[in-house]
Structure 1
Amino acid sequence: MLSLAWSMAQLGWIAGPLTMLLFAFVTFVSAISLCNCYRSPDPKSGPIRNTSYLKAVRTILGPRTATVCSVFLRINYCKVGIVYTITAAVSMRAIQKSNCYHKEGHRAACGYGHTSHMLLFGIVQTVLSQIPNFRGTKWLSIIAATMSFTYSIIGSALGLEKIIGNGNIKGNIGGVSTSTPAKKVWLVSQAIGDIAFAFPFSVILIEIQDTLKSPPPEKVTMKKASMTGISIATLFSICWGGFGYAAFGDSAPGNLLAGFGFFEPYWLIDFANACIILHLIGAYQGWKLHRLVGSCTPPLGFSSM
């Protein structure tokens, strides 16, 4: 989500919002379909509970398909872990740079590395992973969701404030102009990938559904929750990307809160980046990476984690 303003800049005012709506629709359809896969053979009252995405694939499509699926799941979970770690490190560095710019001036050479921040994030996750049932605590989800709402509102508000300060709406229909068609295709592909990554939750939907109580049937509750969650996420995504693009136009930064399109108020930018870090800590645990990756191992012939 942090790069949606940049993605909008590559796609322009027509393709950008339409792409977000398209992926929101695809995510919604995927979520509704997965809700019906939790119980088998009947999606409403079937005796077999598929407690994970991979188990649903194995039950419905067979062990061979599950083996292939497990490979892609491994890749996806590793990707998520890497992205979360890098993004958290970028936000940590952004807090340092924001304070430096405030003290030394906006043109100061405030250079900081990522390595120590990534190591710190890894250490925190390692410690939290040792706490029994930590990933299952309700307050973890509440804190992560609250932090997500907070930094989304701050980023959108800062973008809106800059639009008002500029006195005009920047951007154009076709997006950023490039020297060659090949470069444009590459940038558009990156933008589409960033937007797709903003709607990733459906792969863990069945695990979330497994925590619900019935009656009413789990799929009924999950469908309502999915519709609400995707609608809110889409609204924030369009506001974040739209306000950011309208504020900066073709020069929209890759990370709206860490790319230093905004310098002041520095304390608000620090707070927003702190919210991102806390959100990523909770989200990393919420993805249950270790257990989910472990659930992929039996079809591949390795011992489970």
Structure 2
Amino acid sequence: MTRANFSIEGGDPSSHKFDDDGRPKRTGTALTASAHIITAVIGSGVLSLAWAIAQLGWVAGPIALASFSIITWFTSTLLADCYRSTTGTRNYTYRDVVKSYLGGTKQTLCGIAQYTNLVGVTIGYSITTSISMVAIKRSHCFHKYGHEAGCHMSNNPYIMGFGVLQIIISQIPNFHELSILSIIAAVMSFAYSSIGIGLSIGKIAEGGHVETSLTGIPIGPNMSKIQKMWNTYSALGNIAFAYAFSNVLVEIQDTIKSGQPENVVMKKATLAGISVSTMFYMLCGILGYAAFGNNAPGNFLTGFGFYEPFWLVDIANVCIVVHLIGAYQVFCQPIYAFVEKWSNEKWPENKFITWEYSVCGLKLSFFRLIWRTLYVIFTTVLAMLFPFFNDFVGLLGAASFWPLTVYFPIEMYIARRKIPRFSFMWIWMQILSGICLVITLLSAAGSIEGLIRSLKTFKPFHSMS
């Protein structure tokens, strides 16, 4: 049976086909876990980092990137240590870990934060993918008709096309079957980030004057003090969201094969994944700011124009599309697993829910087919209904950074290690958590302000590029 059907799985744990918990043998390695992490971390958020650094400047921008990288790595190692409970039993999801160490009430709060964020991310990815698809069409339009042509077109057909593809891919039973897809997606993220870096270097080499600053875009006729404040908060939110992958960390760790302790392998994968991600973030953000200065666009690939070399920008957008196809699955698989596990426990005798059928070597489930299809349709419709949904995603990302990336890992580690209250270790961990809470609140405020501005021009089902 699938992972979601673990409650009715059978098998001898001593068999070579099963792990110590009676589930089918896990096959994940540090390489596949790193690929999952890179796929989850290096999302379309990398494209906005030049804009974020333009808001913060040469000093605060790189410091913010480095700080979020270190914090995310540190708290991820704490979370990795909590995969197994103190009795040695496995925790299969983030919520299971929270329940094991902190109790049921906090498990509920964790679930709300985690799954709300995951749903928001999948909707945001639907929008972002369609924008990249349209960008390819527009670049050819500009190339054919000239740079003055508007070449505007609706994103909706491309959102629907992405949804149809995700309905098919969503039939992959669980996280354990996503390794190849994640590796391909990770390669794509390297590709479009490298293209952006290369184009930035080329633009810098061309010369020309671009205005940059140690403190970012200066206050003046085009930037009020209030707007500068909101943009700074929003920039912090973009950076925080760019590093958020804790909501799928436990699910990734649950794919690692037995043998070497899972937390040791996961820590290696986390260090590799975050190090690689930070390197690309720094290069894209810093070189993008150097290339465009204070006029850095929200998507720095579009800043090179949809013009020349149009074919290279097209390749970058194709890579973004392929990457987000895989990233969508990485973020929605925990949602699928949660609903299917709950359904199995609620109706264990219902054959519609529990039975699987083998078709040409593939395991198919009518329940999985119907419910996952409905979920993809739901995210697709919302992506078309709210063309500014990225503002919601920014808010969700900011709101989830503190509880999922910082608060719960720290509190669970304190509970696991039985760290005394008001000891040195306890105090500095609480200080770190408090600082991150303040940053999250400020980032959320910036996202809310952007959402209010977007609502002023809101038109349902009117998403245009």
**How far has the Cα of 1:97 moved from its partner?**
0.9
Distance 1:190 1:205, change over 3 A: same
**Deviation of 1:293 (Å):** 5.2
> 1:87-126, aligned counterparts within 5 Å?
87-126=128-167
Matches within 5 A, 1:156-171: 156-166=197-207, 170-171=211-212
Q: 1:40 to 1:159 in 2, by over 3 A?
A: same
- Which is further off, 18-27 or 285-294? 285-294
- 1:216 match: secondary structure: coil
| CA gap 1:30/1:294 in 2 versus in 1, 3 angstroms | farther
Alpha-carbon distance, 1:118 to partner? 1.3
- Equivalent residue, structure 2, for 1:189: 233
Q: Which moved more, 1:46-55 or 1:269-278?
A: 46-55
2:95 is the counterpart of 1:54: yes
Contact 1:7 1:195 survives alignment (8 Å): yes
1:33 equivalent in structure 2: 78
Residue identity opposite 1:122 in structure 2: G
1:207 aligns with 2:251: yes
Q: Taking structure 1 as the reference length, what is the TM-score of the superposition?
A: 0.91
CA distance in 2 between partners of 1:17 and 1:296 (Å): 42
Q: Which residue of 1 aligns with 2:328?
A: 284
Task: Describe the shift of the 1:137–1:180 C-alpha distance in structure 2 as closer, same or farther (beyond 3 A).
Answer: closer
Question: Deviation digits for residues 205-257 of structure 1, max 9, x if unmatched?
Answer: 11111111232111111101111111110010010011111000111111112
RMSD (Å) for aligned C-alpha atoms: 2.3
2:404 match? none
Q: Which residue of 2 aligns with 1:11?
A: 56
Paired with 2:194 and 2:172, the residues of 1 have a C-alpha distance of 31
Assess if the C-alpha contact under 8 Å between 1:71 and 1:296 holds in 2: no
Compared CA separation, residues 135 and 98, structure 1 to 2 (3 A): farther
Identity of aligned residues (%): 45
Instruction: Using the TM superposition, give the Cα deviation of residue 198 of structure 1 relative to its aligned residue in structure 2, in angstroms.
Output: 1.1
User: How far apart in 1 are the matches of 2:269 and 2:160?
Assistant: 35
Secondary structure of the residue that 1:255 maps to in structure 2?
A: coil
- CA contact under 8 A between 2:118 and 2:335: conserved in structure 1? no
1:59 partner letter: S
2:179 to 135, 138, 159: 138
Moved more, 133-142 or 214-223: 133-142
What's the offset of the Cα at 1:166? 1.9
My pick for the range that moved more, 272-281 or 286-295, is 286-295
8 A contact 1:23–1:195 mirrored in 2: yes
Q: Which residue of 2 aligns with 1:218?
A: 262
Separation in 1, partners of 2:179, 2:225: 49
**In 2: Cα distance, 1:166 partner to 1:296 partner:** 58
Q: Provide the aligned length of Structure 1 versus Structure 2.
A: 299
Q: Indicate how the Cα distance of structure 1 residues 64 and 238 shifts in structure 2: closer, same or farther if over 3 A, else same.
A: same
Of 275, 290, 295 in structure 1, the residue corresponding to residue 319 of structure 2 is 275
Contact 1:91 1:276 (8 Å CA) reproduced: yes
CA distance in structure 1 between the aligned counterparts of 2:290 and 2:300, rounded to whole angstroms: 12
> Is residue 258 from structure 1 mapped to residue 302 from structure 2 by the alignment?
yes
Distance 1:135 1:117 in 2: 29
Work out the CA distance in 2 between the residues paired with 1:69 and 1:33.
Answer: 16
**Distance in 2 of aligned mates of 1:155 and 1:63:** 45
Provide the residue aligned with 1:67 in structure 2. Answer: 108
Q: Kindly state the Cα deviation for residue 18 of structure 1 after the two structures are TM-superposed.
A: 0.5
CA contact (8 A) 1:170 1:247 kept: no
**Distance in 1, Cα, partners of 2:146 & 2:102:** 60
Judged with a 3 Å threshold, the aligned counterparts in structure 2 of structure 1 residues 249 and 147 are, in CA distance, closer, same or farther, namely same
Q: In the aligned structure 2, how far is the partner of 1:261 from the partner of 1:202?
A: 35
Unaligned runs of 5+ in 1: none
Distance 1:187 1:202 in 2: 25
Provide closer, same or farther for how the CA distance between residues 132 and 63 of structure 1 changes in structure 2, counting only shifts above 3 A.
Answer: closer
Q: Relative contact order (alpha carbons < 8 A, sep ≥ 6): 1 or 2 greater?
A: 1
> What is the match of residue 233 of structure 1?
277
